[in-house]
Amino acid sequence: MRVAVVGAGVIGVTAAVAVKEAFPTFEVTVFAEIFTPHTTGDGSAGLWGPFVLADTDPRKIVEWSLLTHKWMKNFWKSGRAAETGVSLLPCYRLSCKSYTKPEWLSVVYGGCELTEKELKRLSKANKTEYTGGVHFVTFTCEPVKLLPYLMKKLESMNGQFVQRKITDLKQLGEEGFDIVINCTGFGSKELVGDKSVSPVRGQVMRVKGPWLLECTLEEGHHGNYVIPNIDSTVLGGTYQEGDYDCSINPSDTKSIKEGCERIYPSIKKCGIISEWAGLRPGRVQVRLESEIMSSLKKKDLVIIHNYGHGGSGVTLCWGCALNVVEILHQQLKIKNLSKL
């Protein structure tokens, strides 16, 4: 059985690894125009935390994110944390808008809602007005380290990588593939004509700040965040729907720097390492489902779509990859029954 995975971000590579682990005899090939360190995920801080998921079913979010959290825990406990870019950090997530207790709070360690007294203290310290918030301990899993690790793992299992832009999924059926897993994120807007996919622009900067040992995120269109990574600290950010511009906007740079310095004044002493802007794959909800296409060689080419993860690619990646495996099991069972 030949499987083509289209897309080499965290969603695509985790799907490829999960499929190869579940079906060792399958031939798995990952096709992508861009590989690490140039994927959208490589620009992110890799913080576990559901974000920009629109109307995705909250039950699915909890299911997928829980499986990913356990996966990250295994890296952290097994001595592979440095290799996979995993850290365990305390985190404040504070709302500057209407507040609702997050359904995923039970997944993280020590998750609790902040009291009115704590909110007043933080509002005063950070010079803003918070309507609610939570404190918890969770993981960062940096794609710039995770992706090379997973790619090496897939190669060790005889998986292959091909640098090539795919413009038609049916063409892969013509080339003899039986199953295609579409993990092209924002690219699905063009590749499969999904008009519900839209860009959500994010701009961040990386600074030197080894003394910063906790995450703080403000939820709201004007909110800022500070997320320590292993070799740098990520300052953000922007949430700009419908914006396709991946160049650095000086106005956003100023807003990010001033906003993060408001939260942690010591950031004024941090040297800027780099800046980055990218497009999150926004969608009305994550698309994780199968369909059957026909091509000249494959009358029943199985397509499994796995895209539209917004700002939660790292948070949902392994849970969604395992869901891909479940769908594949179902499709193979259907195909075998149809031959009886």
pLDDT digits (tens, 9 = 90+) for 233-287: 999 989 999 999 999 999 999 999 999 999 999 999 999 999 999 999 999 999 9
How many angstroms separate the Cα of 201 from the Cα of each of 20, 72, 281? 33, 26, 9
Answer yes or no: are the C-beta atoms of 118 and 124 closer than 8 Å: no
Instruction: Write out the two tokens for 17.
Output: 């690894």
Angle between helices 313-338 and 10-22 (to 10 degrees): 40
Which pLDDT tens digit goes with each residue over 203-248? 999 999 999 999 999 997 567 999 999 999 999 989 999 999 999 9
How many angstroms separate the Cα of 204 from the Cα of each of 125, 254, 270? 23, 11, 14
Judge whether residue 335 has pLDDT over 80. Answer: no
| Ramachandran category for residue 19: left, alpha or beta (phi over 0 → left; psi -120 to 50 → alpha) | alpha
User: What's the whole-number mean pLDDT along residues 176-196?
Assistant: 96
pLDDT of residue 237: 86
3-state class percentages of the chain: helix first, strand second, coil last, to nearest 5 = 35, 30, 35
Tell me the C-alpha distance between 99 and 169, whole Å.
42
Mean pLDDT, the chain, rounded, equals 94
pLDDT of residue 334: 76
The residues pairing with 274 across neighbouring beta strands, listed in sequence order, are: 206
Which is nearest to 325 in space by CA: 26, 8, 10, 6? 26
Instruction: Write out the two tokens for 93.
Output: 């997530």
- pLDDT classification of 193: cutoffs 50, 70, 90: very high
User: What's the whole-number mean pLDDT along residues 1-12?
Assistant: 97
Output phi, psi for 271, to 5 deg.
-85, 135
| Ramachandran category for residue 176: left, alpha or beta (phi over 0 → left; psi -120 to 50 → alpha) | left
Tell me the C-alpha distance between 50 and 55, whole Å.
12
Angle between helices 313-338 and 58-77 (to 10 degrees): 110
Answer yes or no: are the C-beta atoms of 239 and 202 closer than 8 Å: yes
Which pLDDT tens digit goes with each residue over 315-326? 999 999 999 999
pLDDT of residue 221: 59
pLDDT of residue 205: 97
Judge whether residue 336 has pLDDT over 90. Answer: no
Tell me the C-alpha distance between 48 and 175, whole Å.
37
53: three-class secondary structure by DSSP: coil
Instruction: Write out the two tokens for 82.
Output: 């440095």
Output the DSSP codes for 185-249.
GGGHHHHS--TT-EEEEEEEEEE--TT--SEEEEESTT--EEEE-SSSEEEE---EET----S--
Residues in the chain: 340
Instruction: Write out the two tokens for 59.
Output: 């039950």
pLDDT of residue 222: 67
Query: Going from the N-terminus, what domains does the chain have, and what CATH number goes with each?
Result: 2-338 (3.40.50.720)
User: What's the whole-number mean pLDDT along residues 7-34?
Assistant: 98
- Residue showing tokens 């592979």: 80
Judge whether residue 338 has pLDDT over 50. Answer: no
Judge whether residue 38 has pLDDT over 90. Answer: yes
The residues pairing with 88 across neighbouring beta strands, listed in sequence order, are: 139
Q: What is the pTM of this model?
A: 0.94
Q: Max Cα separation, the chain?
A: 70
